[in-house]
């Protein structure tokens, strides 16, 4: 019998903010905080409103004490619990290119409970390589590995034009959650969750900042230069 879902239902923005609080108290604050932190301090470091910080923390049952603030240990423990970081979820990566390699080599995922079990590539000549300690396997092994290890999560790092067909195949094989790094949208059936990582989303903020501060240009670097062409040639540096 399936267990009942437990705990509050939280939307994407709350979940992302909880992750930011988790990073903050894990990386920045503990050095100078003797175990307590105020919502004002969190809000200041994250450039947000402290009412929202308190509301987010209250939504997961973390309440501060007047004039003391929030217990860092409680805050971290509760976020770990709500987001499921105390449990284990195994994932595979499909696409052993540079991005797939960067993700599998990232050593920070274990603290969130994520373990990359296998890496697949459509190019069979890649099979047998090891990236980030994980074996690259031929794509034909996909279904058997998913099945053997009872895997529900897949990370897609294939080119955009191959992503939808791969998502269909993953869903057919039993995948229920997809972390999509291919720069395209995916259509999946009800009951499958997709998180799109559009790497370019961050550019909105950067481009806007540069534009507002007159740090962009409307001139090409030179008459002969065209977008995509490197400005720095080997000759120039030789």
Q: Which of residues 70-129 bind a copy of itself (CB under 8 A)?
A: 82-90, 97-99, 101-103, 105-110, 112-115, 117-118, 128
The nearer residue to a copy of itself, 68 or 144, going by C-beta atoms, is 144
Q: Does 232 bind a copy of itself (CB under 8 A)?
A: yes
Strand 193-196 to 130-131 pairing: unpaired
Shortest separation between residue 64's beta carbon and a copy of itself, angstroms: 22
Q: Does 55 bind a copy of itself (CB under 8 A)?
A: no
CB atoms within 10 A of CB 50: 15
Q: Report the alpha-carbon distance of residue 163 to residue 155 in Å, rounded.
A: 11
Of 179, 168, 196, 176, nearest to 103 by C-alpha is: 179
Q: Does 230 bind a copy of itself (CB under 8 A)?
A: yes
Tokens representing 92 are 């595979």
Shortest separation between residue 63's beta carbon and a copy of itself, angstroms: 21
Block residue for tokens 């409680």 = 74
Q: Does 7 bind a copy of itself (CB under 8 A)?
A: yes
Residue range at the interface with a copy of itself (CB under 8 A); choices 32-40, 66-74, 163-171, 201-209? 201-209
Cβ atoms of 153 and 177 within 8 Å: the answer is yes
Q: Does 19 bind a copy of itself (CB under 8 A)?
A: yes
Per-residue contact track with a copy of itself, 158 to 197, x per CB under 8 A? Answer: ------------------xx-x---xxx-------x-x-x
Sites for a copy of itself among residues 136-165 (CB under 8 A): 137, 141, 145, 149-150, 152-153
**Complete DSSP assignment for 18-75:** HHHHHHHHHHTSGGGSTTEE-HHHHHHHTTS-HHHHHHHHHHTT---BTTTBEEHHHH
């Amino acid at each position: 019998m399936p267990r009942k879902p437990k705990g509050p239902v939280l939307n994407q923005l709350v979940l992302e903010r909880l992750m930011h609080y988790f990073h903050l108290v894990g990386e920045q604050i503990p050095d100078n905080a003797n175990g307590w932190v105020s919502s004002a301090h969190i809000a200041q470091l994250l450039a947000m409103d402290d009412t929202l910080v308190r509301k987010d923390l209250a939504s997961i049952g973390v309440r501060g004490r007047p004039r003391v603030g929030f217990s860092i240990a409680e805050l971290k423990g509760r976020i770990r619990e709500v987001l499921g970081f105390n449990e284990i979820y195994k994932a595979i990566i499909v696409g052993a290119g540079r991005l797939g390699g960067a993700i599998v080599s990232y050593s920070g995922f274990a603290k969130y409970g994520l373990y990359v079990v296998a890496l697949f590539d459509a190019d069979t000549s890649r099979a047998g390589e090891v990236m980030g300690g994980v074996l690259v396997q031929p794509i034909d092994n996909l279904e058997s590995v998913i099945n053997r290890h009872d895997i529900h999560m897949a990370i897609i790092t294939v080119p955009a034009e191959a992503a939808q067909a791969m998502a269909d195949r993953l869903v057919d094989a039993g995948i229920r959650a997809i972390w999509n790094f291919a720069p395209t949208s995916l259509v999946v059936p009800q009951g499958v969750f997709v998180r799109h990582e559009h790497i370019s989303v961050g550019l909105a903020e950067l481009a806007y900042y540069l534009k507002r501060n007159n740090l962009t240009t409307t001139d090409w670097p030179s008459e002969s230069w065209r977008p995509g062409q490197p400005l720095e040639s080997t000759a120039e540096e030789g």
